[in-house]
Amino acid sequence: MADVDQGSAVPTETSSPALDSLNNDTVSNGTDSVNATVAKFVSTPEGTALAYGSLVFMALLPIFFGALRSVSCSKSKNSSDMPETITSRDAARFPIIASCTLFGLYLFFKIFSQEYINLLLSMYFFVLGILALSHTMSPLMNRIFPANFPNKQYQLLFTQDSGENKEEIVNYEFDTKDLVCLCISSVVGVWYILKKHWIANNLFGLAFALNGVELLHLNNVSTGCILLGGLFVYDVFWVFGTNVMVTVAKSFEAPIKLVFPQDLLERGLEASNFAMLGLGDIVIPGIFIALLLRFDVSLKKNTRTYFYTSFLAYIFGLGLTIFVMHTFKHAQPALLYLVPACIGFPVVVALVKGELTEMFRYEESSPEPEAAQKEETESEKKEK
């Protein structure tokens, strides 16, 4: 999170390791840049409070609703809604891959033109943003449309070879409601490409974050601890140890952070002095919080103790990040505070309740084998 000029935000994305490696977990208040130039707008206390309060609120939305949707997603038989399971091996390699990608981007921006790189990135995120926002809107549209709405089914199928060697490359099923969502999302995408408006940026950012929390599943609590612990070290090193992340952050333009203007009260929707929060600060703790919600469901006690505990821990950690940032007037890696809070609070609760062993023994089974078995059964029936 940072008080920065437009376009100098720190990047993070959670839908792929490459983008996660940018990890906008950097928190900065931009004090040096404010002191360096008299012409720059100085935020009022009210504007700063509104900006940071709005960012915290926006960060909570994808975590809360993404976690709820992850429960139904884990039971889904639809291939388009299948979650991507993160194993302990994936979690251990993640910080290394992230570091290599971050440094690679740093070299790219040093060697090649920033303008052309950001043009390619804009088109890439334009497509991803439309798909993510469409997927996010789909359940809402299902409730809005009347029951008698003429909803036709479609299928997009790409195969290669023929006969016994025939292999599916793409098999995507959708309906008329999905097409409506896609059209609305495309309007937002064009708005973002043409204007780079902060509201369009936030719509894409929230969609990315919600989809990340919903579709990225940790297979157990130990894997979550490995992932968060590794990124804790990664974040502290790249923020305090080098200027690589800051350089990439100032060069990278993409809707992979949430922003809110601190001068909104003075300049309205045309405000340009932004505070920001990277999506990595949302999705990384968010997938761990979603895992604890699914653990709560598995206990079958009709309580959500660990989910609410970790959710409140996230609020505490993010609030502490903002407090330390303003107290010491220095950039802060948010995971430095979020990781101990999100892991520590639920572990303490589990110790008190005597469920620590049960928590760490909880293992999620991937739905993919079930889907494969179902497809195999249907194939056998057709042959008969």
Neighbour tally for 169: CB within 10 Å: 8
Cβ–Cβ under 8 Å, residues 249 and 8: yes
- Give the up-direction half-sphere exposure of residue 209: CA atoms within 13 A in the CB hemisphere: 32
Helices (H), 10-113: 17-20, 31-36, 45-74, 88-111
User: 112 is written with which tokens?
Assistant: 């090649």
DSSP string, 323-380: HHHHHHTS-EETHHHHHHHHHHHHHHHHHHHT-HHHHHH-BPPPSHHHHHHHHHHHHH
**CA–CA distance, 129 with 121 (Å, rounded to integer):** 12
Q: Which of 20, 235, 263, 296 is catalytic?
A: 235
Is residue 281 flagged as an active site residue? yes
Is residue 235 flagged as an active site residue? yes
Cβ–Cβ under 8 Å, residues 217 and 74: yes
- Enumerate the β-bridge partners of residue 259: 276
Q: Where does residue 52 rank: exposed (0-12), middle (13-18), buried (19+ CB within 10 A)?
A: buried
Classified as helix, coil or strand, 107 is helix
Q: How many helices (H) and strands (E) does the chain have?
A: 15, 9
**CA–CA distance, 5 with 274 (Å, rounded to integer):** 6
* Residues catalogued as catalytic: 235, 281
